[in-house]
Chain A
């Protein structure tokens, strides 16, 4: 009974603040003595009295009220031994930086032992949350209003519902308005009103589905029917969104495969050199990113951008070393090249294990790459995957231009098609070999830089991609960059499509078996080379 009474009082109060806030545009600032008194009232034993003190703070209309309440909710509103109220800015470690609650001036660090926390219980916590949400709805800052409206979904009660109508009509921001409309509609649906059900038809938020489910099982047959049909249309919509999500993940996985394989498409496809150390060149690219971030602490974004050229360079140089040190002696003996470069891959792996560490290293994702792009309540696309997808396409286009539009590309194609004739025309074949191999290796380094944003960076990173990369090149057709792109992306999507019903491992096995069978049918891949080059 008492609880009920308290609740009623509470709602009346919310309404009054709301009206007050509407009436006055600028909030007032109480004098320091008044403010101190308001806070003093919080430091009492009884939770009931604390609740009333909170009410008093809200009614005081002080512009610092929200910060106080937030600090109280987080347990950061504390009292010093001399009775001053402070807000703890960061409660990690032994000594905490604090600021005066009244003046907001920073007071330096204080030992946690000298501070006394103002405790709250769960009931107060709930009250504080909805109080802050309502206060926030009047905040001049759009982000705060958005967050607050988001939090209100499914939390609206009768008193607030009355308030929402006016709020919706006065809100300028479309997003906040939609959220508030949804929040109101959820409340209406829960109360069995047809109007709410109609509004929720297009909503994908899980809270809306909960409310509709309840309405579908309700007593009113008309509302229940409407709710059921709304649910069906939502289900349809969700399925579509899930499809888009699978496609996105598939393309993302595919872009990783393309990045890993496209360097191989150059060294294997164009030059005919089997480089089993390709995976380790990818790994070196990833480690370059890690190293750059160690060199530039606190600037992960800059380090990442710098590691794009750095990763390319490191991998290209190692590639040149492999070409000069091993591969040039094994020209025309592809199987031996395979074995020798495999030996190089073992050495590189063990080198990283010995010099750096056998354990995985963490590469930080810069802020502009973390988080996700929220399309709607059921679909959000992670930004880092999107950046990698874009990067893969960028690298592909770049390589395409190099091969098609530059002197180097022309020479590479000439040497590939007829080495003797190209040399007779004055092309220095050895130099072209070195440059081609450096290019392919450098692209592997780029793949490593991109991969460091998606997976763990460890000595085995390359090993995990080498078989997949070969599969992509073979599937797409050797010597064909377009084939590599199409093969990589489609293998990624196929893998993601299979995963839900087969599981990750089985999906991978199915894809491998599929490629093995595919090669039987089309031994030269999706896009076989035509003409003289095919006879090679």
Chain B
């Protein structure tokens, strides 16, 4: 497929020539428009009306989908199984949460003009240094990208330079997120400890509780997902992406050819962490809370399952997987909360044993069967 559109020169616009990207963007756009129309134009009480709660839920799924795309970028195309992407997601979320916290101003329970409620509660005198600047939206939004990016840069630099790969890397990424979880649980860290950050009121002047803002956030998540997808697609179809795939399949050989493998790994890892941060920043205003449980190793490994279920190294598969698993989670935890972990556990086993290429692989298999006339499907 990528060979068919070498006509487009500029790397960022190249994905638009791809059939899969066109389909994906089309479906996403259609979904956004349909949900918006059903929410706004169809009167309340009508069978087709989509209420604010559902819009909010879809918005949450879309931010998860963006996170899954970020994980697929490193796992699918770079072969790095990160069990710590929840950490980047949570850090992005905390950056957004800090901004939203500062927006509360003096309307908190204790009515302090500057300090958030939990700091007043802990008898803190003044704002810690790292909380400064978060009252400005541009600064906070920059931090959403920079904070996870910086962590990924430092961690990735250390890890890739000393050629920690494979299972080892997975385990230390898990240790990373575990350590961060323990750290954020501490009140002394200044991030609200166990309770995290919550009780948000408005974002950029819009009331977070109004359904219009929720719709706006849903659409923003959709747009972010589309942009993230295009960016990732552009990266993997570029020459850099080819080197990444080569690294995934034969790291030593790529190195011997003369590529500085660790630089490619580091670049893609940082981009992926930033995308995860954006996903977290979109997630937090929609659920209204961020706490250390987002750092839990279970969450990070769950993200990997979304990607595995959807199909590795396809990007759109990650989106399908994230939405499927989270929809199932919503249904299950509502109907039989006890059964959810059984289902999730079984899903892990079944997907890895019986469905190694995920739903995307299944779709591709079916399509190939129905039209055996068109070979040459990308198998990456």
Contacts and interface: CB of A to CB of B under 8 A. Distances in A.
A515 B175 CA distance: 9
B122 interface: no
A505 B186 contact: yes
Contacts of A330: 352-353
A508 B183 CA distance: 10
Task: Give the contact-size bracket for chain A.
Answer: 35 or more
Nearest to A521: B162
Contact of A516 (B175, B182, B186, B352): B175
B125 interface: no
A350 B348 CA distance: 14
B352 to A, nearest CB: 4
Contact of B179 (A350, A474, A513, A519): A513
B341 A346 contact: yes
A531 B305 CA distance: 36
Given A474-B168, A519-B168, A519-B172, A339 B338 contact: no
B13 to A, nearest CB: 33
Interface string B330-369: 0000000010011011111101110010000000000000
A338 B186 contact: no
A344 B352 contact: no
A471 B175 CA distance: 8
A346 B308 CA distance: 17
B343 to A, nearest CB: 9
Interface string A282-309: 0000000000000000000000000000
Interface in B288-308: 297, 301, 304-305, 308
B356 A336 contact: yes
Task: Give the contact-size bracket for chain B.
Answer: 35 or more
A59 to B, nearest CB: 63
B349 A338 contact: no
Contacts of A124: none
Interface in A470-524: 470-471, 474, 505-506, 508-509, 512-513, 515-517, 519-521, 523
Contacts of B341: 346-347, 349-350
A5 interface: no
B344 A346 contact: yes
Interface in A311-346: 326, 329-330, 333-340, 342-346
A520 B351 CA distance: 33
A399 interface: no
A103 interface: no
A339 B171 contact: no
A491 B252 CA distance: 33
B344 A343 contact: yes
- B155, B161, B166, B178: most-surrounded residue (chain A CB, <10 A): B178
Contact of A339 (B155, B159, B162, B352): B352
A350 B351 CA distance: 19
A329 B81 CA distance: 20
Interface in B122-181: 155, 158-159, 161-164, 166-168, 170-172, 174-176, 178-179
B185 interface: yes
A135 interface: no
Given A326-B353, A517-B158, A467 B347 contact: no
B186 A342 contact: no
A494 to B, nearest CB: 15
Given A342-B301, A343-B345, A509-B183, A520 B352 contact: no
Nearest to A524: B168
Nearest to B174: A467
Contact of B349 (A326, A334, A512): A326
A520 B161 contact: yes
Contact of B346 (A335, A343, A523): A343
A334 B166 contact: yes
A354 B338 contact: yes
A253 interface: no
B345 A347 contact: yes
A44 B167 CA distance: 81
B182 A509 contact: yes
A340 B306 CA distance: 13
Contacts of B164: 519-520, 523
A94 B180 CA distance: 54
Contacts of A342: 301, 348
Given A329-B353, A467-B178, A505-B182, A347 B167 contact: no
A343 B171 contact: no
Given A467-B297, A512-B178, A335 B158 contact: no
A342 B83 CA distance: 12
A346 B175 contact: no
B304 A339 contact: yes
Given A520-B158, A520-B164, A339 B175 contact: no
Contacts of A340: 348-349, 352-353
A350 B342 contact: yes
A337 B308 CA distance: 12
A416 to B, nearest CB: 16
Given A339-B308, A516-B172, A523 B347 contact: no
Contacts of A512: 175-176, 178-179, 182
A334 B165 CA distance: 12
Interface string A344-379: 111101110110000000000000000000000000
27 contacts: A326-B353, A335-B166, A335-B167, A335-B170, A338-B81, A338-B167, A339-B348, A340-B352, A346-B344, A347-B341, A347-B345, A351-B342, A467-B174, A467-B175, A470-B174, A474-B171, A474-B172, A505-B182, A505-B183, A508-B182, A509-B179, A509-B183, A512-B178, A515-B172, A516-B155, A516-B176, A520-B162
Given A340-B352, A350-B341, A523-B162, 16 more contacts: A338-B81, A339-B305, A340-B353, A343-B345, A343-B346, A343-B347, A343-B349, A344-B349, A506-B186, A508-B179, A509-B182, A516-B179, A519-B162, A519-B168, A523-B164, A523-B168
Ranked 10 nearest A-B pairs via Cβ: A343-B348, A346-B345, A347-B345, A350-B341, A512-B179, A340-B352, A343-B345, A343-B349, A336-B352, A520-B158
